[in-house]
Structure 1
Amino acid sequence: MKFTQFLKITNTTHVIDISYADTLEMLRCCNESKVIYINTAFENTSVDENIYLEGFTLQERYAIYEKNKNQFKNTTAIICSGMNPGVVQWMAIDLMKKFPKETPKACYIVENDTSFYEDESLADKNTIYTTWSPICFLDEAIYSYPAFMQQHMCLILYKAVYDLQFKVTLGDREFAGCLMPHEEVLTLAALYNMEMGFIYKVNDHTTKLIKDNINNLGDLWNYPMKVLDPVEAPLKGEDLVGVLLVYDDKERYMYNALDNKEIFKEFGTNATYFQVACGIYGGLASVLLDDIPKGIYYVDELLLKTNSNYKEYLSFYMKDFVVGENKKSEGNLLDRIKE
């Protein structure tokens, strides 16, 4: 049965897509059926199957989507509202709106995911552990080049992602993460002329495993992979996501840190998946409860072009956003490289 037939038979009104399905194909089906569509990431089958695009897959998915998105006139869709995308776009826009007379020279999306087994002896030394799809993580971590945006252009560093680490300071919290391509960086940089990038750190076990195989990264695809599931064994740590706005003489930040034990106790999942659910909830509530004109939106466009109450819906479950200021600036990306 074709997906369009399924939509018709079931009288579906809204589709929430958290799969590997091709974004444009799903949009075509929903557009034909006049069904509202929400997803969490760019997916494109033709890009995934093209070995010549290795290293640049996200940029190609984005370019193909941008080229085709205006053909869909019969549906409303919110694209990339889930893990990071959506959540952090709201943070960035909200923080900039608080200080409208000051324009940052850079905006970095930051994430420090320390989630791991409380009993570390449960971990196998040669298994890749992540709090979400290990395959999708590896696509960012070893299958892509480090990338950032400047003057609305995507710039690529000809290095392995884990060859470089970049310093992040959020008040009394500090970490060093890797520069990876990510959806929200592309969409925000289309709207704002400033340097943008995504700095990401995962658990120490997986970080070490990748670094130990830095000269044989292709071998990691054959390693065992596992999602850290608190149903199987208790997890410690947290998933922190946020934004860092950089000025010449200071930095401003906003972040949310979700504790695995607290999230599992109340919602039965890990911190990362809960964060994804909050982004989906924000998008779904917007199209259900707000007067959103027909159209295709990223979350940043939803926030700037409509009367969406995305902020209220997102923060209904995802609470305790920390806002602060660093009294000095650590500079642009290349100034942040950790020796």
Structure 2
Amino acid sequence: MDLEKLTLSLLGSAGGVAKSILAILDKSFRDADDPIHSFIGSVHIHLIDLKQKEMEYYEPFIPHLKHAVTLHQFDLKDLSLFRQHLIQTKTTLVVDISWADTVEMLDCCNEMGIRYINTALENTMVDDSEELEGFTLLERYRIFQENRERFTNMKAIIGSGMNPGVVQWMALEMMKQNPGEEPLGCYIVEHDNSFYSDLTQVKKKTVYTTWSPECFLDEAILNYPMFMKQHMPLILYNAVYELEFKVALGSKQFYGCLMPHEEVITLGKAYDMEVGFIYRVNDHTTDLIRANLDNANDLWNWNHKVLDPLDAELEGEDLVGVLLVYKNKEQYMYNVMSNAGIFSEYKTNATYFQVACGIYGAISAMLLDDIPDGVYFVDELLHQTDTGYGTYLSYYMKDFVTGENNGSDGLLLDRMKK
């Protein structure tokens, strides 16, 4: 790609992930050793949102890059307007962290040979279909798979945040340590205990999460618990928060809920092992959902609040990693970021910054690696291309912890809290 012509369109720019991406790109602009510094030095960034913020909102995150930013406000459902934007701005890379339909965005980019990155599969038709409740992720995945082979005039990395994204890289890195033995199970694990330092900030009938509450509730109360076994998705007909599963990462132990996630499907399709995502959020939100299991749909009508350190001080941290289960042992790899540490440097919360590190890895791979045309999940990118994705994301995401448990708690049903 011509270094003089990097034009990046960021979709969903008013959300929390965007602030973290912009903060990283601002660092890249100032750091001559950053892998993509030479690109960012001449970048033009177009920020697009349905409800756009004023430039003052973005300035704390891009103090050195605000000269390179143009704001736009329009609905990405208007595909003709989006196509017009891509042509007029001569966009060369789209980073999509919006709720726009993934297949529609890929269609537009494929027409013009524009590179595309996103963090999750989105489909508005699925979201609006009551009959698909309980299975929305599987339906999004099915529709995406039916269409992906059409996109041959572009390069795309699908699902590159923290999870999905960085966790696939962690899983493959850990599996390299036992090349002759495939794990019996691979569990994506997350313990996010982020919450307000001052509990007087807490309001009644409010769902608090460190990322989109609507997307969180989609996984936590709308879908059934799901895992992969023998390359097939299996559903437990329980509410997500009815069940808890044990996770041990050395001295760090917790119980989390089994939730559907993109990386569970992609890793479970690629490997003959049991794959699941075990997730625990702050105790306040956990207790709130459990207390309302019989009327969980009411939570959609409550207030929804992202835990933003710009609103009030946050304590706690977000731990995300992988746990590989073998016959007589377990191996693990994880990253922990504290809200205090991330806020002091990037003005955002730990969760959003972890997601942004995965996106940064994908941006770097798009700009620096010779990736053949096609559409890749991160595990596919690592398998099928000669990419430096792991090296790139590690530039900002540091201090990965690895270790081994002597013995094993077994597969998912053995881990279930009785």
TM-score by length of 2: 0.80
Do structure 1's residue 165 and structure 2's residue 206 form an aligned pair?
no
Do structure 1's residue 41 and structure 2's residue 120 form an aligned pair?
yes
Instruction: Give the aligned partner of residue 245 of structure 1.
Output: 324
Alpha-carbon distance in structure 1 between the residues aligned to 2:200 and 2:416:
32
- Structure with max Cα Rg: 2
Do structure 1's residue 200 and structure 2's residue 279 form an aligned pair?
yes
| 1:126 partner amino acid | K
Instruction: Give the aligned partner of residue 94 of structure 1.
Output: 173
Instruction: Give the aligned partner of residue 290 of structure 1.
Output: 369
Task: Give the deviation of 1:122 after TM superposition.
Answer: 1.1
Alpha-carbon distance in structure 1 between the residues aligned to 2:167 and 2:374:
22
Instruction: State which of 389, 397, 401 in structure 2 corresponds to 1:322.
Output: 401
Do structure 1's residue 301 and structure 2's residue 390 form an aligned pair?
no
Task: Tell me the secondary structure at the aligned position of residue 77 of structure 1.
Answer: strand
Alpha-carbon distance in structure 2 between the residues aligned to 1:312 and 1:218:
42
Moved over 4 A (4+): none
Deviation sequence 1:26-81 (CA, Å, 0-9, x none): 00000011110000000011111111000000000001100110001111000000
Alpha-carbon distance in structure 2 between the residues aligned to 1:127 and 1:3:
35
| 1:194 partner amino acid | M
Trace 1:257-268 onto structure 2 (pairs within 5 A).
257-268=336-347
Contact 1:250 1:328 in 2 (8 A): yes
Instruction: Give the aligned partner of residue 222 of structure 1.
Output: 301
Root-mean-square deviation (CA, aligned residues, Å) is: 0.7
Task: Tell me the secondary structure at the aligned position of residue 376 of structure 2.
Answer: strand
Deviation sequence 1:219-257 (CA, Å, 0-9, x none): 111111100000111100001100000011110000000
Instruction: State which of 253, 256, 267 in structure 2 corresponds to 1:177.
Output: 256
Alpha-carbon distance in structure 2 between the residues aligned to 1:136 and 1:107:
24
Instruction: Give the aligned partner of residue 157 of structure 2.
Output: 78
Alpha-carbon distance in structure 1 between the residues aligned to 2:402 and 2:350:
20
Alpha-carbon distance in structure 1 between the residues aligned to 2:257 and 2:391:
31
Instruction: Give the aligned partner of residue 104 of structure 2.
Output: 25
| 1:329 partner amino acid | S
Alpha-carbon distance in structure 1 between the residues aligned to 2:208 and 2:127:
22
Task: Give the deviation of 1:10 after TM superposition.
Answer: 0.5
Task: Tell me the secondary structure at the aligned position of residue 216 of structure 1.
Answer: helix
Instruction: Give the aligned partner of residue 57 of structure 1.
Output: 136
Do structure 1's residue 150 and structure 2's residue 229 form an aligned pair?
yes
Task: Tell me the secondary structure at the aligned position of residue 137 of structure 1.
Answer: helix
Instruction: Give the aligned partner of residue 148 of structure 2.
Output: 69
Task: Tell me the secondary structure at the aligned position of residue 183 of structure 2.
Answer: coil
Task: Tell me the secondary structure at the aligned position of residue 160 of structure 2.
Answer: coil
| 1:135 partner amino acid | E
Which ranges in structure 1 are unaligned for 5 or more consecutive residues? none
Task: Give the deviation of 1:125 after TM superposition.
Answer: 3.5
Alpha-carbon distance in structure 2 between the residues aligned to 1:286 and 1:83:
15
Task: Tell me the secondary structure at the aligned position of residue 2 of structure 1.
Answer: helix
Task: Give the deviation of 1:190 after TM superposition.
Answer: 1.1
Contact 1:189 1:196 in 2 (8 A): yes
Contact 1:177 1:200 in 2 (8 A): yes
Identical counterparts, % of pairs? 64
Task: Give the deviation of 1:84 after TM superposition.
Answer: 0.9
Task: Tell me the secondary structure at the aligned position of residue 330 of structure 1.
Answer: coil
Deviation sequence 1:161-210 (CA, Å, 0-9, x none): 00000000000000000000000010111110100000000000000100
Contact 1:4 1:32 in 2 (8 A): no
Alpha-carbon distance in structure 2 between the residues aligned to 1:125 and 1:206:
11
Alpha-carbon distance in structure 2 between the residues aligned to 1:125 and 1:310:
43
Alpha-carbon distance in structure 2 between the residues aligned to 1:167 and 1:126:
29
Instruction: State which of 269, 274, 289 in structure 2 corresponds to 1:210.
Output: 289
Task: Tell me the secondary structure at the aligned position of residue 217 of structure 1.
Answer: helix
Alpha-carbon distance in structure 2 between the residues aligned to 1:153 and 1:121:
46
Alpha-carbon distance in structure 2 between the residues aligned to 1:106 and 1:206:
28
Task: Tell me the secondary structure at the aligned position of residue 222 of structure 2.
Answer: coil
Instruction: Give the aligned partner of residue 236 of structure 1.
Output: 315
Contact 1:21 1:43 in 2 (8 A): yes
Task: Tell me the secondary structure at the aligned position of residue 287 of structure 1.
Answer: helix
Do structure 1's residue 113 and structure 2's residue 192 form an aligned pair?
yes
Alpha-carbon distance in structure 2 between the residues aligned to 1:207 and 1:93:
31
Contact 1:243 1:253 in 2 (8 A): yes
| 2:399 partner amino acid | D
Task: Give the deviation of 1:296 after TM superposition.
Answer: 0.7
Alpha-carbon distance in structure 2 between the residues aligned to 1:196 and 1:43:
22
Do structure 1's residue 16 and structure 2's residue 95 form an aligned pair?
yes
Task: Tell me the secondary structure at the aligned position of residue 256 of structure 1.
Answer: strand
Alpha-carbon distance in structure 2 between the residues aligned to 1:240 and 1:125:
27
Task: Tell me the secondary structure at the aligned position of residue 324 of structure 2.
Answer: strand
Task: Give the deviation of 1:102 after TM superposition.
Answer: 2.2
Task: Give the deviation of 1:83 after TM superposition.
Answer: 3.2
TM-score by length of 1: 0.99
Which ranges in structure 2 are unaligned for 5 or more consecutive residues? 1-79
